[in-house]
Chains A and B, each alone.
Chain A
Amino acid sequence: MDKILIPVLIVAGIGLLAGIILAVASAIMAVPKDEKAEAILEVLPGANCGACGFSGCSGYAAALSKGEAQPGLCSPGGEACAKACAELLGTGDVAVEKKTALVHCMGNYDCTSDKMRYDGIDSCAASTLLAGGISSCRYGCMGMGDCAAVCEYGAINVCNGMASIDPAKCRGCAKCTAACPKGLISFVPLKKQAVVRCSNCDKGAETMKVCKVGCIGCGKCMKACEVGAVKVTNFCAKVDPAKCIGCGKCAEVCPRHVITMLDA
């Protein structure tokens, strides 16, 4: 009988001892949990995309509960998520500006040409390493679809050597902005406004050689704008979305037709 009893007692005793030590330790060294952060984490979409600028949803939730961040930074969650966060924090309603990613280039195969016959790895990032990419314009879209490959929502379509983003499908996760080796994709507020669809910083004569629609920095749009929303810097026009009223005058005067109107 002892042969069974003693081992059983010893193992049970060690187990009990370990259990008691663990129970005491967890009681003494309990780390206070941030309940607010956990509640916020529940309402966040959990995509861990990093569009808010924090490391995943838990990072954003922790920053929100400490008051270090504003609600409404979560683009995949959108308005509903921002409202839920604000409710939990007790800060009242916040306005969420709906944004979409936009490719700042119009250089499809009709406007630009390939400067080489490229047989390498089928990726924009790889071809950029080779003499700055295959497109005649060194700033422009090469249409090999690195952005479309990373988009989880199928919002990006590459057609005729040119990527375009469907604002209705874009959830604002910013994966494409990181994937584009030319840095052509950036966020614009989704409202009625003018956008310059070119990123070429070369002088006008140089731009004309490589692209039929590239911005030559003539400055006509700047003069036509009544609210001072358009600025030409580095031979490329830019529209300030905060000032633009969406009158469309700059788009009318643009000789290269590279300014387009975005609809809400």
Chain B
Amino acid sequence: MSLKFLVGIFLAAILTENYILNKFLGICPFLGVSKKLNTAFGMSCAVTVVMVIATAVTWPVYTYVLVPLNLDYLQTVVFILIIAALVQLLETVMHKYMPPLYNALGIYLPLITTNCAVLGVTMLVLEKGAENPSFGYLASLVNAFGAGIGFMVAMVIFAGVRERLELCDVPNFLKGLPITLIAASLVAVSFLGFNGIIDRLLA
């Protein structure tokens, strides 16, 4: 497995396969926590950490427990269970050993427990692994990390857009969520422009 392969996966997860803007997962925090730049950044950090750790745990469980027993249809149920327990554990550990980090990220952790972007990452990397046998454990972790960073990029860009929106003279009927959704769709369209860039970049 070459480094080029991993870098390709990482960049693709950020730009072309952005979980928010391309796969439309995790829209709830995308709209909910993107009002301010610092909360958007904190939330994205927490999501990135949880995505990597969740993938690190769910991948072996799926490959070595569920598949041999022909129980891969239980994927969703088991993954939700594992992710929820994992986030809870992470919160306990952080509260004890990293109080400053807990104060900064603590309020976002419970929100992530049932976040579809986290569940989506853990399931989609397995789908990729089924299509391409060279897409193993390490590649899955890199993909999960890239997905988290992609989440952060989308959140930070959109927080900037929303801070500008605050000062705009928006027609009354579009105020609030409608204009936010329109802005989100425009940002998503702009990310379409990245299609194919990674293959060419590393070809």
* Chain A positions near chain B (C-beta within 8 angstroms): 6-7, 10-11, 14-15, 18-19, 21-22, 25-26, 29-31
| 18 residue pairs A–B, Cβ–Cβ below 8 Å | A6-B69, A7-B71, A7-B74, A10-B65, A10-B78, A11-B74, A14-B78, A14-B81, A15-B81, A18-B81, A18-B85, A21-B89, A22-B88, A25-B89, A25-B93, A29-B96, A29-B97, A31-B95
Tell whether, in the assembled complex, residue B82 and residue A18 are in contact, meaning their CB atoms are under 8 Å apart.
yes
Q: Which residues of A contact B74 (CB under 8 A)?
A: 7, 10-11
Within 8 A of A (CB), among B84-107: 84-85, 88-89, 92-93, 95-97
The A interface, classified by DSSP as helix, strand, loop or mixed, is: helix
The yes or no answer to B201 lying at the interface (CB within 8 A) is: no
Cα separation A21 to B87 with both chains bound (whole Å): 12
The yes or no answer to B77 lying at the interface (CB within 8 A) is: yes
Tell whether, in the assembled complex, residue B92 and residue A11 are in contact, meaning their CB atoms are under 8 Å apart.
no
Q: Which residues of B contact A6 (CB under 8 A)?
A: 69, 71
Chain A: minimal CB distance from B165 (Å): 17
Cα separation A226 to B61 with both chains bound (whole Å): 85
Chain A: minimal CB distance from B146 (Å): 27
Given A11-B81, A14-B82, 16 more pairs with CB closer than 8 A = A6-B69, A7-B71, A10-B65, A10-B69, A10-B71, A11-B78, A14-B61, A14-B81, A18-B82, A18-B84, A21-B89, A22-B88, A22-B92, A25-B92, A26-B92, A31-B96
Nearest A residue to B102 via CB reads: A31
Nearest A residue to B77 via CB reads: A11
* In the complex, per-residue mask of B55-88: 1 if CB is within 8 Å of any chain A CB, else 0: 0000001000100010100100110011011001
Q: Which residues of B contact A18 (CB under 8 A)?
A: 81-82, 84-85
Q: Which residues of A contact B95 (CB under 8 A)?
A: 29, 31
Chain A: minimal CB distance from B22 (Å): 31
Cα separation A19 to B81 with both chains bound (whole Å): 10
Chain B: minimal CB distance from A11 (Å): 6
Q: Which residues of B contact A14 (CB under 8 A)?
A: 61, 78, 81-82
Q: Which residues of A contact B78 (CB under 8 A)?
A: 10-11, 14
Cα separation A29 to B84 with both chains bound (whole Å): 18
Chain B: minimal CB distance from A99 (Å): 31
